[in-house]
Structure 1
Amino acid sequence: MVKERLIILDGHSLMNRAFYALPPLTNAEGLHTNALYGFTAMLFKMQEEIKPNYIVCTFDRKAPTFRHEEYKDYKAGRKKMPPELGEQFPVLKELLELMSINIFEIDGFEADDLIGTLSKFAEKKDIEVYIVTGDRDALQLASDNIKVVITKKGMSEKEIYDSNRMVEEFGVTPTQFIDVKGLMGDSSDNIPGVPGIGEKTAYKLIQQYGSVENVLQNIDNISGAKIKNNLIEYREQAIFSKKLATIITNVPIDIDLDSIKSNERYDITALRQMFFRLQFKSLLDKLPQVEISETPTSRTEEALVEYETVDTIEKLNKAAQNIKEELFMYLETENLHIYSKADINRIYINSQGKYYVVDFKKLKEEDEKSLVEVLKPIFEDKTLMKIGHDNKSTFLVFRKYGIKLKGVAFDTKIAAYLIDSSKGEYELTTLIQELLKIDIIGEGEELYVKFITYLPQIKKALEEKVHEFSMEKLFYEVELPLTEVLAFMETEGFKVDKEKLEELGKKFRSEIDKVQEEIYELAGDEFNIGSPKQLGKILFEKLDLPVVKKTKTGYSTNAEVLEELSDKHPIIDKITYYRQLTKLHSTYVEGLKNVIDFDNKIHSSLNQAVTTTGRLSSTEPNLQNIPIKYEMGREIRKIFVSNNENSVILSADYSQIELRVLAHIADDENLIDAFVNHSDIHTKTASEVFRVPIEEVTSLMRSRAKAVNFGIVYGIGDFSLAKDIKVTKKEAKNYIDAYFERYPNVKKYMEDIVRVGEDQSFVTTILNRRRYIPEISSSNKVVKALGIRLAMNTPIQGSAADIIKLAMVNVHKQLTERNLMSTLILQVHDELILNVYKNEINEVQEIVKKEMEQVFNLRVPLEVDINIGDTWYEAK
């Protein structure tokens, strides 16, 4: 017979573990939610794995316990709970209540004592117990029937201990674990123990003598004068420490098994509403779907509207006559990540209160030509306003059928992204839940019809936010038209020379083999360079290099460790190079072979709603991230070629755009002057910082000044700068101080923007792109420092993103309006890449230079470097 099971959750311990394991998260209300998310995700996982019959959660109370009364310094000096964590506990208790999980807490006793009492009570009832905690104190409760689940590595891993596992791993029984604590003490609880006895000695003594009392009775037999003297002097303290460390198992509480029974009687509707409020999208999927009842924060989902399924050309013609003035649309697509296979399944339309489901796939089978002929006038009509979700995909798939989408008035996905760029996903289901407070349910056709039903309300809500945040120019002139530009670029793709790719593969393999042999020679041995364990033995045992960092499995050989060792042995640079080569080979030589489409082109996806800074990202494959530190990395660009012998690749790269943006935002006279007079900014900075005439600036000075210039943009500190340019921390501080002395308004900007970030929890770019920075309010110094750097950098990097996006829109518009064959094909941060036909070179160069340099009126000139070649490599 299978035993019943009880899960006991250690509330404070698990919340604390989750808080420090996960990055800062906040919901729309500004409530911190990372601990709540980690706790809830862990709970679901435990429920799934253990399938308990009962669940309870225990908490500490603020009132002093009997331990505090007996020992006033108990837990003294413990760090105060951060307010970002403290505010999450009342919400957790709400969540537990909604899930019908009983809470146990009582004045005078710790959660550990409640856990002990509950677990022993259940054990007597022959119920299998699982104590889930991050606190190893609970190990003393382990038995054959009581399992202690210790969460590790944040919340993602766990270790389960019973009495046998305790003996195997520690050499002591669970009850003897208390004796170990009595001898060694516990700094986290401020339990004193015996001075001079650490963990190793404590375990050894208890393994030998069995208990604190037996140790004290056998002091004469113990070796080591210091330990003997301390045991004699602190014998009472050892016994008292054991008492403090002992978990009470008979707290006077009433336990009713029926009341703690795990069941699904809890209010799913209310719980789903709570998850919406907390923005726990991924956890929502773990809850049953239900209709939402009327509440102050939500409303009943409206009945599904009547709609017509359009599955014949005749029906399509009739429907077309009723589509007027405004069209809300949603496309059900497939294989968007593979250009040649990207297609439409159905088109959902809401126009003038009439709803249609156009079965595109079926109509295509009936008569593709007639299908396109009917759709073309609708979707190419500039006067018919189109509102959609993810219009880039619509532009892309329509273009395959020769339909040029026009009259696009709104994109709910892009608007939602601008309102809060930190969310990561902007599905319509989520927007309906968050903006309309409706728990939308259903799947397939029924769900998509609901999308177009609610799309007008979503549009209105987002439109109001765009206006409230003064984002009209950013949305309507930059991001909305950019959806068409990106779709155009994706369909154009970047041609690849397959023969060159094969040649490059051979070259890489040859270089990898050569570097491998050089490493073996320097090591005096052959080994698996890709194995951290084997590499660690070579570096730290055979070559006797200083150990920088250790992990549980041995020596760390990560990039940071290698960087620190770079001047200690020539093998280090070879290993770093080897790693780069093998990564480049697998990702960009072998990897690219798998994504070349039927037209010998790579159609990378350019993602507009991913980054928090406003920059575009490239995926499947990522063409923005080809490392060019080594020549072999740059060689990869040789395989990217122009479309044919009549065209070339043109690269247009903004010169130091982020520093120019900094000069503009900070309104710093000296920095502006440098750009207005077309000075070499790094040489000028070196002259200012090192206080030497420009003609006396050395290459080393310029290099260090360059690091300072770009470091300032990213809020660099003296420690990081010292590490980057290999000088002392004091020298680095002097450089930064000298920089701010020469550019005082830059310093003022940095200080002001941090205050702005702290006051409003977000910062903005020159076009009012907004980035929320909850990290800046953290009580954790490391997290807060990150928030400060983000506040300093975001307006600069984000404004640069605004500028190049607007330039892309303008360049594409000019190329299209002039009916030129030349096209934009890729954007890599500050660089635009075009395939240009030779007979259009002069005209395209003129367009690109003008539109990029005159796109925005800054206090300093924008400058663009243009290069041309048959390959991307030659054009860079």
Structure 2
Amino acid sequence: MPETTFLIIDGNSLAHRAFHAIPHLATSRGVTTNAVFGFTSMLFKVLDEIKPDLVAVCFDKGKVTFRHDQYGEYKAHRPATPEDLRPQFPLIKEVLEAMAIPVLECEGYEADDLIGTLVTRAEKEGLSCIILTGDRDALQLVSPMTRVLLTRKGISELEEFNEGRVWERFGVTPDQFADFKGLVGDPSDNIPGVPGIGSKTAAALLKEYGRLEEVVSRIDDLPARQQEKLRDYREQALLSKQLATIERNAPLEIDLDGCRWAGPDYNRLLPVFSRLEFKTFLRTIREKLGQAEDGKDKPSPGEKQLKTHRVPFQQVKRGEDLSLLLQLCRRSGRVALALCGRRGEGPAAAALALQPPEKEGPGPTVHYLDLDAPALRTAALETLGAVCRDPEIEKLLHDGKTALWLLQHHGIPLKNLAFDTMVAAYLLNPADAGRDPADLALEHLDLVLPSRSEEALAARADAIWRLSAVLGEKLRLAEMERLFYEVELPLVGVLAEMEMTGVAVNGERLKEMSRELEGKIAALSRQIYHLAGEEFNINSTRQLGNILFEKLELPVVKKTKTGYSTDASVLEELAGSHPIIPLVLEHRQLVKLKSTYVDGMAALINPATGRLHTTFHQTVTATGRLSSSDPNLQNIPIRMEEGRKIRQVFIPRREGNLILAADYSQIELRVLAHMAGDPNLIEAFRQGQDIHTRTAAEVFGVAITEVTAGMRGRAKAVNFGIVYGISDFGLARDINVSRQEAREYINNYFTRYPGVKDYIDRTIREAREKGYVTTLLNRRRYLPDLFSANRTVRSFGERTAVNTTIQGTAADIIKLAMVRIHRELQEKKLAARMILQVHDELIFDVPAEELPVVQELVRRHMENALVLDVPLVVDMKAGPNWYEVKKIEEPAGEPPRQ
């Protein structure tokens, strides 16, 4: 008969261990969760490995125990519980309650005493016990029936102790462990022990005499040195043993049957994980449920079952049913659409949720279309196309951009996208990267969606229907309706068309650039080998470190666990110390250019179109900026000439077209001027002055005509540094001056632009009051870092608060311009296409004959996207490729632009 296992966990020990092992972690609303996450991770891991029959978690209750009556200084030197950890204990207990695991506490007793009491009771009933703790005191509880799992490194490594392991490690039996502590003491608990007696001496004494009481009663038999110590500290040693001894008879009001465990209560656990934003755990539970539904992993007996949201749906199997479905969609006027498929292919299935007849209840009715069924494939696609094309039918989707890709495979346009639950959820919580419909259904509807294909798609359509109403109301309450309906929702279609259009690429030139870079890298390698006196792998951190710091004996800046650090910051600090350093830095840059951009882009060219079809990510960045991938065209390095030359390969899609680049001039500084309301900064922009020259004049106290190029460069660093919350240390590093000089620059800046300083202080103050900041269009970003006990993390949160309001507003402005430009290009039926967005710049592929019209409308919409107290200015350039674009002369009578 298999033994019955009782897992007993030291909750306080594991919580502290998790808190210190995992870096700062918080929900998007600012609730610190690193200890909860680490504790839960370890709990799941141990439960999965041990599969116990009984489980309990013991916690200390209060700071004062019976041991303080015995010794007032007990644990006196232990630091206070960190501010960020204290509020996590109730959250940990909430997780345990949802896991259906008993939480045990007892006034006046420590967790150790409760563990000792449970072990004593369990052993009497013949149970096998496993104790999970980070406290070595528990080793005194080890017996033939009890083992201890001691946390070692963070929360990932455990060391198992049985009787033999305790003897091997400490030279005493578990039964002697309290005696051992009586002699050696325990600084962590402020147990004094006997000064001068270490672990080896203590083990030897106990091996000889068995018990501490026997040792002190036989003092005359001990060596003279030990006699002196024990005579002076006899009572202290006995008291120390008493303090270290775990109480095994605490008044616990629970019997062992109350600790029997049949598995977690998923219905209670999932909402807790959703609120804590533990997406990994949520996915794990849903995967487990899916396996159970498929019969692959049946739940253990007694395991509580998850209540899945079952959605009845009608599978359309006849042609007449398709006609009826189209009529129902038109009568409803609103359809939630869920598609199953991958980009590059058409949808394999579709589920449509519709407004039902009143008699059928408040929820939608769901219809399922199998688009791969041979008998109905053509007719089903025609019906789906008719629904999507109809501008009178509102479409509700999750990730509308992907849906547009799937539909375009069959030439089906999507008219009247009325809601996108992924985009809405992003606006409501921009820090949450996981926006799967199942996550949103759980978070906002308390519904758990099934995982099997047909049921899952039907439930997804049902959830989209319900989420649209709930998220729409939350957007209204957060005053983000304008941002959603005027900017983000119409942007979905704009980005989809940009992706589908793609960017034409000169493949031959890309191959030439790869060969050119290969030659330059080889030449640099030869120079580096010559200076090093030998050949080595320049890309190997270890080999490069040995060359720089052992052979060439350069000063060691930083070491890691694996050896010398050779990262960019180290090499930049060593600049000037040896001619090999700039060559290594250049070598790295060229290698990255070749592998990541030149060769990387070549591999991603679509063979059918000859273009790059990057993916624009609308719901990723917390500031609202767009990002791109496969390839990342927003991150092409342009500070070095070789990087800028990569833009040569981006060409118009047909002969006779031009590349038009429209770039906002210093938009973030203009946004800062408007939001700060500083009269000096506003005046500079209104007069069309060079803002960096004006700032240099203000900061250095000279006339504008006396500003040198060096002064302007430093002022530029200050201007942009203020936007990003730069410190005097950061500015000093960037412009190579002392911290004192950098501090003076910053102070002079705020003296001349006091409105900016007031704005920064006001933004941080309001962010602390609300927990979030907003842009001019009311985009929100929650800032949990502002409430961290860690000063570095808190300072980062303050910089983020200021930067987000500025960078986020700039992102809103260019998105608004993109939507309006795209709309007018369509209305005028122009052949020009918007093909790229790179932060503050828009790139267009324009027929030469359309250039004047497109140039005017692009400038008009970009410069008037939002009315500010300062003018928005756009620099326009055109040319045969993105690299060779030349500035277009501006309309007469307008102020000069920087």
Q: Normalising by the residue count of structure 1, what TM-score does the alignment of the two structures yield?
A: 0.86
- Tell me the distance in 2 between the aligned counterparts of 1:378 and 1:776: 48
The one-letter code sitting in structure 2 at the alignment partner of 1:275 is: F
Deviations 1:530-553 (A, max 9, x none): 443333333333333343433333
Q: Map 1:767-786 to 2 at 5 A.
A: 767-786=777-796
- Tell me the distance in 2 between the aligned counterparts of 1:125 and 1:548: 61
Distance 1:651 1:261, change over 3 A: same
- Tell me the distance in 1 between the aligned counterparts of 2:148 and 2:697: 67
**Partner of residue 490, structure 1:** 499
Determine helix, strand or coil for the equivalent of 2:371: helix
**Partner of residue 310, structure 1:** 316
Residue 52 (structure 1) aligned with residue 58 (structure 2): no
**Partner of residue 798, structure 1:** 808
Q: Is the 8 A contact 1:763 1:770 kept in 2?
A: yes
- Tell me the distance in 1 between the aligned counterparts of 2:494 and 2:55: 54
- Tell me the distance in 2 between the aligned counterparts of 1:697 and 1:377: 66
Among residues 601, 604, 611, which one is paired with 1:592 in the alignment?
A: 601
Most deviating of 607-616 and 117-126:
117-126
**Partner of residue 626, structure 1:** 636
Deviations 1:300-359 (A, max 9, x none): 877634x432345554233222222522222323222xxx34645324242455745453
Q: Is the 8 A contact 1:323 1:352 kept in 2?
A: no
Q: Is the 8 A contact 1:63 1:107 kept in 2?
A: no
Among residues 793, 808, 823, which one is paired with 2:818 in the alignment?
A: 808
- Tell me the distance in 2 between the aligned counterparts of 1:207 and 1:239: 14
Deviation at 1:575, TM superposition (A): 3.5
The one-letter code sitting in structure 2 at the alignment partner of 1:146 is: R
Distance 1:736 1:164, change over 3 A: farther
The one-letter code sitting in structure 2 at the alignment partner of 1:36 is: V
Q: Map 1:173-188 to 2 at 5 A.
A: none
Deviations 1:831-866 (A, max 9, x none): 111112222222222221111111110111111122
Distance 1:194 1:547, change over 3 A: farther
**Partner of residue 160, structure 1:** 159
Q: Is the 8 A contact 2:310 2:450 kept in 1?
A: no
Q: Is the 8 A contact 2:371 2:380 kept in 1?
A: no
Most deviating of 797-806 and 622-631:
622-631
Distance 1:504 1:46, change over 3 A: farther
Considering only aligned residues, what root-mean-square deviation do their CA atoms show, in Å?
4.0
- Tell me the distance in 2 between the aligned counterparts of 1:247 and 1:819: 86
Deviations 1:418-474 (A, max 9, x none): 122122122222222222233343532223223333444322222222222222221
Q: Map 1:217-366 to 2 at 5 A.
A: 243=241, 246=244, 248=246, 250=248, 252=250, 258-264=257-263, 267-287=265-285, 289=289, 304-305=311-312, 307-311=313-317, 313-324=319-330, 325-336=332-343, 340-341=344-345, 343-353=347-357, 355=365, 357=367, 359=369, 361-362=371-372
Distance 1:828 1:822, change over 3 A: same
Q: Is the 8 A contact 1:651 1:833 kept in 2?
A: yes
**Partner of residue 80, structure 1:** 80
- Tell me the distance in 2 between the aligned counterparts of 1:218 and 1:638: 91
**Partner of residue 838, structure 1:** 848
The one-letter code sitting in structure 2 at the alignment partner of 1:49 is: E
Unaligned runs of 5+ in 1: 223-227, 292-298
Distance 1:238 1:707, change over 3 A: farther
- Tell me the distance in 2 between the aligned counterparts of 1:143 and 1:623: 63
- Tell me the distance in 1 between the aligned counterparts of 2:237 and 2:45: 40
Residue 148 (structure 1) aligned with residue 146 (structure 2): no
Distance 1:460 1:505, change over 3 A: same
Residue 26 (structure 1) aligned with residue 27 (structure 2): yes
Q: Map 1:697-846 to 2 at 5 A.
A: 697-846=707-856
Determine helix, strand or coil for the equivalent of 2:797: helix
Residue 477 (structure 1) aligned with residue 483 (structure 2): no
Distance 1:749 1:221, change over 3 A: farther
Unaligned runs of 5+ in 2: 294-305, 358-363, 887-898
Most deviating of 786-795 and 43-52:
43-52
Deviation at 1:485, TM superposition (A): 0.1
Q: Map 1:518-537 to 2 at 5 A.
A: 518-537=527-546
- Tell me the distance in 2 between the aligned counterparts of 1:401 and 1:477: 28
**Partner of residue 651, structure 2:** 641
- Tell me the distance in 1 between the aligned counterparts of 2:466 and 2:31: 26
Most deviating of 377-386 and 748-757:
377-386
- Tell me the distance in 2 between the aligned counterparts of 1:565 and 1:710: 26
Deviation at 1:122, TM superposition (A): 6.9
Determine helix, strand or coil for the equivalent of 2:620: coil
Determine helix, strand or coil for the equivalent of 1:359: strand
Q: Is the 8 A contact 2:351 2:461 kept in 1?
A: no
Distance 1:622 1:178, change over 3 A: farther
Distance 1:796 1:592, change over 3 A: same
**Partner of residue 620, structure 2:** 610
**Partner of residue 301, structure 2:** none
Deviation at 1:718, TM superposition (A): 1.9
Determine helix, strand or coil for the equivalent of 1:626: coil
Residue 458 (structure 1) aligned with residue 456 (structure 2): no
Distance 1:647 1:204, change over 3 A: farther
Deviations 1:496-530 (A, max 9, x none): 23222322333333333333333333333443344
Distance 1:220 1:695, change over 3 A: farther
Distance 1:345 1:596, change over 3 A: farther
- Tell me the distance in 1 between the aligned counterparts of 2:735 and 2:181: 47
- Tell me the distance in 1 between the aligned counterparts of 2:167 and 2:548: 33
Deviation at 1:674, TM superposition (A): 1.5
Distance 1:96 1:373, change over 3 A: closer
Deviation at 1:764, TM superposition (A): 0.5
- Tell me the distance in 2 between the aligned counterparts of 1:179 and 1:670: 76
Most deviating of 536-545 and 608-617:
536-545
Among residues 851, 854, 865, which one is paired with 2:864 in the alignment?
A: 854
Q: Is the 8 A contact 2:317 2:376 kept in 1?
A: no
Deviation at 1:715, TM superposition (A): 1.6
**Partner of residue 361, structure 2:** none
Distance 1:724 1:239, change over 3 A: farther
Distance 1:482 1:700, change over 3 A: same
Larger Rg: 2
Determine helix, strand or coil for the equivalent of 2:482: helix
Deviation at 1:58, TM superposition (A): 2.3
- Tell me the distance in 2 between the aligned counterparts of 1:841 and 1:531: 50
Determine helix, strand or coil for the equivalent of 1:752: helix
Q: Is the 8 A contact 1:650 1:836 kept in 2?
A: yes
Identity of matched residues, %: 44
Deviations 1:752-794 (A, max 9, x none): 0111111110110000011111221223322221221121111
Residue 417 (structure 1) aligned with residue 429 (structure 2): no
Most deviating of 722-731 and 647-656:
722-731
Deviation at 1:479, TM superposition (A): 0.7
The one-letter code sitting in structure 2 at the alignment partner of 1:604 is: T
Determine helix, strand or coil for the equivalent of 2:513: helix
**Partner of residue 383, structure 1:** 392
**Partner of residue 295, structure 1:** none
Determine helix, strand or coil for the equivalent of 2:328: coil
Determine helix, strand or coil for the equivalent of 1:746: helix
Q: Normalising by the residue count of structure 2, what TM-score does the alignment of the two structures yield?
A: 0.84
Residue 681 (structure 1) aligned with residue 687 (structure 2): no
